[in-house]
Amino acid sequence: MSGGTDSSVAAILLKEQNHQLEGITFRAYDSISKGCMEKETGCCSADAIFEAKKLAESLGFHHNILDIRNDFENTVIKDFIEKYLSGVTPNPCVLCNKEIKWGRLIEECDKLGCDYLATGHYAQIINENNRYFLRKGVDETKDQTYFLWRLSQENLARTIFPLGKLTKSQVRDIARIHGYEKIANKRESQEICFITDDDYKNFLREKIPDIDKNIGKGNFVDINGKVLGEHKGYPYYTVGQRKGLEIAMGYPVYVLDIDSESNVITLGKREDLLSNELWIGDINLMKYDNIDKMTGLTCKIRYNNKGESCTVYQYGDELKVCFDNPVSAVTPGQSAVIYEKNDVVGGGIILKKS
């Protein structure tokens, strides 16, 4: 329970269905925003925890606060920093879902004697042919299966998504009907919950005070290796980036490649970003236990990507994705999620291949 609209309505619906509930809210990090007045912000703030507790009390079930700040720091935030320092772009929500939200919550479920874990995610869980897998939520504008591809068969078998067949507007209406007007009108949470000012560069500087001194400035080069100018340090850039490069070429240029060892960033035109294929590692298969070769699939390489038609080949613990049409800005470190229509076949982390 984050104190937000979605998890609150999930609790309301489960209570109506006569489930016996235990509420859990994470204290994952100290979310202090900087400014003339310091105030905690985000889903882990004291206000958010209090609102989750208040809702649980109003619905008549016990609420638990779980302090996981050390675990969160040593997994999600540590990985976030390490990925940027290695020259790739992380997706912390995906790791958090596996290691924290399900890793720690399943443990807590066992301690509390709970059979199932329920969250406010917009996704559906299907059980067919002795396999559990995700299906997109009915509200495709809110579908969150992209962030959930790492969940195991055991995770899915013990999970309930009460909002999977609802739209966001229906969820807000449910909160209003039950008299929770404030909950109904809550704003959407930000994408990276621990980056309170939406500037990951500042976050890296706070966590690694000597990052600029140790890494320093480096060269922008073109695809032929010609030096074009100077950048502020490779961790502050991502493949596909156009804005904020602070270099004038007379035409738009984009980040094509990041070399963390040499601190060199390659720039090029939009068409230079196009790729016909990608490789993904750290894979987790859902709908099938093996792919071998599958056609007629789609692959999402970022959350707001509609998905591109492709053929997928499995080579051991890696997948090769061949697109029917070239795709733009394949970004190492990000997730690639494979779909068969609305069903999640599996996913993995985009690898940097030479």
Count of Cβ atoms closer than 10 Å to residue 316 Cβ: 7
State how far the Cα of 78 lies from the Cα of 50, in Å rounded to an integer. 28
Q: Is 233 left (phi over 0), alpha (psi -120 to 50) or beta?
A: left
State how far the Cα of 1 lies from the Cα of 193, in Å rounded to an integer. 14
Check 96, 109, 299, 310 and give the catalytic one.
96
In what side-by-side order are the strands of the sheet with 218-221?
227-231, 218-221, 264-268, 254-259
Check 43, 44, 193, 299 and give the catalytic one.
193
Beta pairing partners, 340: 343
CA torsion 315-319-324-330 (nearest 10°) is -140
The verdict on whether 96 is a catalytic residue reads yes
Q: Is the dihedral of CA 142, 281, 133, 155 positive or negative?
A: negative
Q: Is 341 left (phi over 0), alpha (psi -120 to 50) or beta?
A: left
State how far the Cα of 302 lies from the Cα of 323, in Å rounded to an integer. 15
Residue type at 8 in one-letter notation: S
Contact (Cβ atoms closer than 8 angstroms) between residue 323 and residue 276: yes
Name the residues annotated as catalytic.
96, 193
